[in-house]
Chains A and B, each alone.
Chain A
Amino acid sequence: MGQIKRLHEKLTAREITCVELTQRFLDAIENSNKELNAYITVTPETALAQAKAVDEKIARGEEIGLLEGIPMTLKDNISTKGIATTCASRILTGYKPIYDATVYELLLKEGVVMLGKTNMDEFAMGSSCETSCFGGAKNPHSLDHVAGGSSGGAASAVGANLAVYGLGSDTGGSIRQPASFCGIVGLKPTYGAVSRYGLIAYASSFDQIGPITHDVEDAAIIFDAIAKYDERDSTSQGSEAALPTLYDAIAGKRIGIANQYLNGVREDVKDAVLEAARLYESMGAQIVYFDLPELDFALPCYYILAMAEASSNLGRYDGIRYGFKAEHYNGIHDMICRTRSEGFGKEVQRRILMGTYVLSAGYYDAYYKKAVNLRGAIVAAFDRAFEQVDAILAPTAPVTAFRSGYLFGEETDPLEQYLSDICTVPVNTAGLPAVSVPCGEDSEGLPIGMQLIGRKFDEKTILNLAWQYEQRGYQAKETKWGVKL
């Protein structure tokens, strides 16, 4: 049984009150957040008020829903009415949204307890959480290593038992890679499955919100709660529920392994993924090796498009309507330039510049337009693959968690960060769903993750496959942190 169902039983059996449960999490955050830096904002008043309402309902003898009273957390790019939402950027200093994101609205209706907002790379641009203006979140398996990024705070918080689950966002791997680095589960839904209303935009044709959880069942429960059509996001469509078929047998399923996904992947990571493939075979699934040469250009294609969209989306930060504003200036152009130069961090500025470059006259056709059309080729290649297989198995990242500071060291090429996203970005480029689950550990005890990639709006198949693996495959190690229940 997953952690959410287990806690739900404890609450309904009155083994623990919701206020007690919430207070234990708040105490654990108080004790550990200095070291882990998983949370940017903790919201004890909100959480305890929400918990109290659940206890009153239980006391009245009313039934509570599965998610009711379960303490959770939101990445700090998901809007929360009246609660600071920073995107881990100086430019949003003091900003408090005046509306809730749809995902939070949906979860509020379920009666959740919101513990706070989690750390991330600034505007979700990064792979280690270290571009956060608050400093990066640490890996609960080793404080010398990063939690991953960009949803590093959410993965650190869940991995360290400082929340039962968290919502993150995934533009190029930002849910799956930190989940993989922290030895937990992360689901990036199909583009359009979950509403982006209230998610502060990075690259709008890639961004998706999804759950970061301890186990696959929890991911399915959260996914089913948030994958709903929302008229406020014109690209939202909802998706089919995953829970009804989660525990089904998988005999006869065809799982593909694209040879290109294994290129350049560290040997121990590759071995762990192939070991999982053998386990699937023993459960009656069929493993099919195939070629997906389009993966070779997915990474530059993704970065061109994501940076172009980012440069446009981040044009709105001008110091006039919200957030940080430069103190001294002379004229409006000077004010906007100073505000943006002082408010955005280095990596965000680099991506805005690059995005502006590929969209500028003379370069638009060679870069942006070409990348858009190559995106079409990547979509078509995955479509062809899914005529042969039900899911694709791949490593989530080519390596395990980076040592803190490594990506931004003097010796490290700025491209290295981008190259490390090689396994995750093709999924976003094609708009597909993918779930990362722990499948091993390296010689230092750091977790290894694998991802199952599915057809569009077929989260149910990949979650079913992931759940079956979780029952018989590698068992993720608990960390020493947080609330043990």
Chain B
Amino acid sequence: MDHLAEPVGASRAAIQHHYDVDNDFYALWLDETRTYSCAMYEGEGDSLERAQARKLDYIARAAGARGARRVLDIGCGWGGLLTYLAREDDDSELVGLTLSREQRDYVEAVSRGRLDVRLEAWEAHQPSEPYDAIVSVGAFEHFARPDAAEQARVAGYRAFFTRCRQWLRPGGRMYLQTICYDRAERSQFPEFFRESVFPESDLPRPHEVLAAADRRFHLVELRNDAADYARTLLDWRTRLWARRREAAALVGEDVVRHFLKYLALSQVSFHTRTTGLLRLTLARADELLVAPPRGAEEAS
């Protein structure tokens, strides 16, 4: 069932602007799992396919999603991670949320009902039972609008973590992967991204993510793998460049030119550490933590 409530971050129209281009177009340059997020490379000669498989495995371990009975993927894209998990345990309940109709239709068709994919914003999600693991990869970038002040942005992120905590069973884990601003300030970032790549979306700074998760989750691991994203983007762009004529036949030359530019600018922004790539492993705070008693403060 569709939940038509508009999300707090980027609207459906804004998400569909980017992701509803054409599924066949993305298939030309993404790996076969259509994983549209940063991979995890090892060594010089590594391939995009192996790096994406390694990333899926890393996420499954980090979130404790391997063999888990109920898993939620917030911003599931073309379902790469849920499909990966479905092979591991056929009794599991794998739920994905996306705002892209093309993605939802694709996952429903290829999974033949195995995956429960919903055209639904996280704000509208109401699970029937708690989840054992929650993952969210490349969605957090869309949770704040560019005109929001820091306080409002963090409040929005905090609402997200509060809901995730409620949806997890005690002891459950969450994996979050998001692009962040690193060396650059918001004002120094190319307008091109906000105007024509991801309208209505804005990136967090690392401290905003941590502040928002604080007391809802314990931080288990935090990595900044900007170099991995630069390499992923180079691999995507090299593939798209090689197949640019086929791509133009599908979506037109202007769209291909736009994507080549966006992939190159994104790569450069990770290469120069203008942006970073955060991978967070979080453990549910089983008691909502409150300030320590006075005595503890004095002792420290």
Do the two chains belong together in a single complex? no
Which positions in A face B, CB cutoff 8 Å? none
Which positions in B face A, CB cutoff 8 Å? none
